[in-house]
Structure 1
Amino acid sequence: MTQTQQPPQKTPRQASKPAPHQTGWSALNIDMRGWWTKHWTGPVAAIVLVVLNISVWIWQLTHHVIRRPQDMTMLRMFHHTAEPGQSGTFAHFLKLLWSLVLVRGPFALVLYAIAVLVIVSTAQAVLGVARTLATSLLGAVAGSTLGLGLCAIITNLLDAESWHAVQRLPFSLSPLTLFIGALMAASAFESLLWKRRIRLIGYAFVLAGLLFSGNPGDYCTLAAALVGQAVGTLMARRRGQTEQPLEHEQWWHGTDYEARRLIAAIQLIFAFGPILALVSSSHDVPLSTFGFFLSGLVGDEELADVCADNMRANSCVAMAKHYHFAMTGVWTRTILLVVALSILAWGLYRGRKLAARVSIVLNGLTVALSLIYCVVFPLLDSAIMPIDAELWIALLQLLVATALPSVVLVVAIAVNMNHFSVLTARSRIRRGVGAIAVTLLATAGGFLTFGMLNRDAYTPRATFGMLLRDLPHRYLPMGLIGSSRLHMHSTTVASMVINQLPGLVFWIVVLVVFLLWFRDAVSLNAADRARASKLVERGGESMSFMTTWEDNHYWFSPSGRSAIAYRVSHGVALTVTGPFGDPGEFDTSLREFMRFCERNSWSPAFYAVHDNSRETLESLGCSSIQVGTEMLVIPSTWQTRGKKWQDIRTAINKARRSGMTDVLTTFNEAPWEVREQIIEISEQWAELKSLPEMKFTLGGIEELRDPRVMLLYAIDADGVVQGATSWLPTYRDGKVIGWTLDFMRHRTDSPNGIMEFLIARMAERLHEQCAEEPDNAPQFMSLSAAPLAGIGDNTADPEDVAVIEHALQIVADTLEPAYGFKSLYFFKRKFQPTPSPIYICYPDAAALPRIGLAVLSAYLPGLKASQIPDMLKSLRPAPQAKEQEHQ
Structure 2
Amino acid sequence: MPEEIPDLEPEFSSAGLSAAARRFLKPEEIDPVGFLADWPVWLVSGTTFLAGLVGIVQPLLVRFEKHPKLLSALVPYELYHLSKTVEIGFALLLIYLSFNLLRRKRTAWWMAVTINALSAGLQLIRIGSEHSIWLADKVSGIDLPNYSAVPPILGCGFLLILHNHFRVKSESKSIRFALITSAVLVFVALSYGTLGFWLLDKIDFGVSFDLQSCIARAFNGITQLGNADLTARTGYAKWFIESLQVVGYITPVFIFASLFRPINYQLNTHPRERHQAEDILNKYGRTSLDRYKLLQDKSYLFSKDGQSFVAYKTVGSIAISLGDPVGPPDKITDMTKQFLNYCHENGWSCAFMQVPGEFLPIYEELNLDVLKIGEDGVVELDKFCSETANKKTFKSPVKKMDRDGFTVVKSSPPHSEEELSEMQAVSDEWLSLPGRRERGFSLGKYDRAELKNDTIYKLIDQNGKMLAFANQVRSYETGETTIDLMRHRVEVPNGAMDFLFVKMMCMLHTEGYTHFSLGLAALSGVGTESDATLQERAVHQVYEHMNRFFSYKGLRNYKNKFAPVWVSRYLVYEGGTPGLVRTTIAIAKATED
TM bracket (short chain): 0.7 to 0.9
Aligned residue number for residue 854 of structure 1: 583
Spell out, residue by residue over 1:659-685, the C-alpha distance to the aligned partner (whole angstroms, 9 max, x if none): 33334447x833334433444444444
| CA positional deviation for 1:414 | 4.4
Question: Which one of the candidate residues 409, 419, 429 is aligned to 2:175?
Answer: 429
After TM superposition, the structure 1 = structure 2 runs for residues 2-401 of structure 1, keeping only pairs within 5 Å, are 252=30, 257-267=38-48, 273=53, 286-289=54-57, 344-360=97-113
CA–CA separation in structure 2 for the residues paired with 1:661 and 1:531: 40
CA–CA separation in structure 2 for the residues paired with 1:689 and 1:344: 50
Q: Which has the higher helix share?
A: 1
| CA positional deviation for 1:410 | 4.6
CA–CA separation in structure 2 for the residues paired with 1:671 and 1:531: 30
CA–CA separation in structure 2 for the residues paired with 1:644 and 1:249: 61
Secondary structure of 1:418's aligned partner: helix
Distance change (3 Å), C-alpha of 1:605 and 1:390: closer
Spell out, residue by residue over 1:558-611, the C-alpha distance to the aligned partner (whole angstroms, 9 max, x if none): 221121223344654432111224445335433544454455554443321112
CA–CA separation in structure 2 for the residues paired with 1:686 and 1:522: 31
Question: Which one of the candidate residues 544, 553, 558 is aligned to 1:822?
Answer: 553
Aligned residue number for residue 284 of structure 2: 539
Secondary structure of 1:518's aligned partner: coil
CA–CA separation in structure 1 for the residues paired with 2:99 and 2:427: 43
Higher relative contact order (CA 8 A, sep 6+): 2
Secondary structure of 1:560's aligned partner: coil
Q: Which amino acid aligns with 1:856?
A: I
CA–CA separation in structure 1 for the residues paired with 2:50 and 2:128: 32
CA–CA separation in structure 1 for the residues paired with 2:21 and 2:462: 66
Answering whether residue 505 of structure 2 is matched by residue 769 of structure 1, we say: no
Distance change (3 Å), C-alpha of 1:675 and 1:807: farther
Answering whether residue 524 of structure 2 is matched by residue 789 of structure 1, we say: yes
Q: Which amino acid aligns with 2:267?
A: L
Secondary structure of 2:183's aligned partner: helix
Check whether the contact 1:270–1:291 (CA below 8 A) recurs between aligned residues: no
Answering whether residue 412 of structure 2 is matched by residue 670 of structure 1, we say: no
Q: Which moved more, 1:710-719 or 1:406-415?
A: 406-415
Spell out, residue by residue over 1:343-394, the C-alpha distance to the aligned partner (whole angstroms, 9 max, x if none): 74454333332332344566567678x599x88xxxxxxxxxxxxx996789
Check whether the contact 2:469–2:488 (CA below 8 A) recurs between aligned residues: yes
Q: Which amino acid aligns with 2:560?
A: R
Aligned residue number for residue 647 of structure 1: 393
| CA positional deviation for 1:405 | 4.9
CA–CA separation in structure 2 for the residues paired with 1:489 and 1:691: 67
CA–CA separation in structure 2 for the residues paired with 1:712 and 1:818: 31
Q: Which moved more, 1:457-466 or 1:411-420?
A: 457-466
Distance change (3 Å), C-alpha of 1:678 and 1:642: closer
How many residue pairs match? The answer is: 539
CA–CA separation in structure 2 for the residues paired with 1:658 and 1:704: 34
Question: Which one of the candidate residues 714, 725, 737 is aligned to 2:459?
Answer: 714
- For structure 2, the 5+ residue unaligned runs are 1-14, 70-84, 134-142
Check whether the contact 1:746–1:754 (CA below 8 A) recurs between aligned residues: no
Q: Which amino acid aligns with 1:832?
A: A
Distance change (3 Å), C-alpha of 1:503 and 1:441: same
Secondary structure of 1:655's aligned partner: helix
Answering whether residue 515 of structure 2 is matched by residue 746 of structure 1, we say: no
Secondary structure of 1:841's aligned partner: strand
Distance change (3 Å), C-alpha of 1:643 and 1:746: closer
CA–CA separation in structure 1 for the residues paired with 2:503 and 2:60: 77
Check whether the contact 2:528–2:540 (CA below 8 A) recurs between aligned residues: no
Q: Which amino acid aligns with 1:564?
A: V
Q: Which amino acid aligns with 1:805?
A: E
Distance change (3 Å), C-alpha of 1:455 and 1:781: same
Check whether the contact 2:415–2:453 (CA below 8 A) recurs between aligned residues: no
Distance change (3 Å), C-alpha of 1:614 and 1:270: same
Aligned residue number for residue 833 of structure 1: 564
- The share of aligned pairs that are identical, in percent, is 19
Check whether the contact 2:308–2:327 (CA below 8 A) recurs between aligned residues: yes
Aligned residue number for residue 140 of structure 2: none
Q: Which amino acid aligns with 2:521?
A: A
Aligned residue number for residue 266 of structure 2: 523
| CA positional deviation for 1:505 | 4.1
Q: Which amino acid aligns with 2:586?
A: S
Aligned residue number for residue 497 of structure 2: 755
Distance change (3 Å), C-alpha of 1:415 and 1:674: same
CA–CA separation in structure 1 for the residues paired with 2:432 and 2:111: 48
Check whether the contact 1:490–1:496 (CA below 8 A) recurs between aligned residues: no
Check whether the contact 1:352–1:421 (CA below 8 A) recurs between aligned residues: yes
Q: Which amino acid aligns with 2:524?
A: A
Distance change (3 Å), C-alpha of 1:580 and 1:508: same
Answering whether residue 370 of structure 2 is matched by residue 631 of structure 1, we say: no
After TM superposition, the structure 1 = structure 2 runs for residues 329-728 of structure 1, keeping only pairs within 5 Å, are 344-360=97-113, 405-406=151-152, 408-454=154-200, 456=202, 457-458=204-205, 471=218, 474-476=221-223, 482=225, 485-486=228-229, 489=232, 491-493=234-236, 494-496=239-241, 498-510=243-255, 512-514=257-259, 517-527=260-270, 528-540=273-285, 541-569=287-315, 571-600=317-346, 602-641=348-387, 645-665=391-411, 669-689=414-434, 693-702=438-447, 705=450, 709-728=454-473
Secondary structure of 1:624's aligned partner: strand
Distance change (3 Å), C-alpha of 1:788 and 1:348: same
CA–CA separation in structure 1 for the residues paired with 2:289 and 2:411: 20
CA–CA separation in structure 2 for the residues paired with 1:812 and 1:441: 57
Q: Which amino acid aligns with 2:307?
A: R
CA–CA separation in structure 2 for the residues paired with 1:659 and 1:638: 24
CA–CA separation in structure 2 for the residues paired with 1:571 and 1:632: 34
Q: Which amino acid aligns with 2:266?
A: S
Aligned residue number for residue 540 of structure 2: 809
CA–CA separation in structure 1 for the residues paired with 2:487 and 2:254: 48
Check whether the contact 2:174–2:258 (CA below 8 A) recurs between aligned residues: no
| CA positional deviation for 1:689 | 4.0
| CA positional deviation for 1:629 | 0.8
Secondary structure of 1:612's aligned partner: coil
Q: Which amino acid aligns with 1:840?
A: L
| CA positional deviation for 1:653 | 2.9
**Aligned Cα root-mean-square deviation (Å):** 4.6
CA–CA separation in structure 2 for the residues paired with 1:852 and 1:593: 21
Q: Which amino acid aligns with 2:248?
A: G
Check whether the contact 1:603–1:847 (CA below 8 A) recurs between aligned residues: no
- For structure 1, the 5+ residue unaligned runs are 1-191, 193-241, 274-285, 294-302, 314-329, 376-388, 771-777, 865-887
| CA positional deviation for 1:835 | 1.2
CA–CA separation in structure 1 for the residues paired with 2:590 and 2:307: 31
Aligned residue number for residue 880 of structure 1: none
| CA positional deviation for 1:470 | 5.0
CA–CA separation in structure 2 for the residues paired with 1:490 and 1:555: 66
TM-score by length of 2: 0.75
CA–CA separation in structure 2 for the residues paired with 1:722 and 1:605: 39
Distance change (3 Å), C-alpha of 1:748 and 1:568: same
Spell out, residue by residue over 1:811-846, the C-alpha distance to the aligned partner (whole angstroms, 9 max, x if none): 44566445433211111111111111112234x5x4
Secondary structure of 1:413's aligned partner: helix
Secondary structure of 2:167's aligned partner: coil
Q: Which amino acid aligns with 1:430?
A: R
| CA positional deviation for 1:783 | 0.8
Secondary structure of 1:781's aligned partner: strand
Spell out, residue by residue over 1:469-493, the C-alpha distance to the aligned partner (whole angstroms, 9 max, x if none): 555654556xxxx568546657442
Distance change (3 Å), C-alpha of 1:674 and 1:701: same
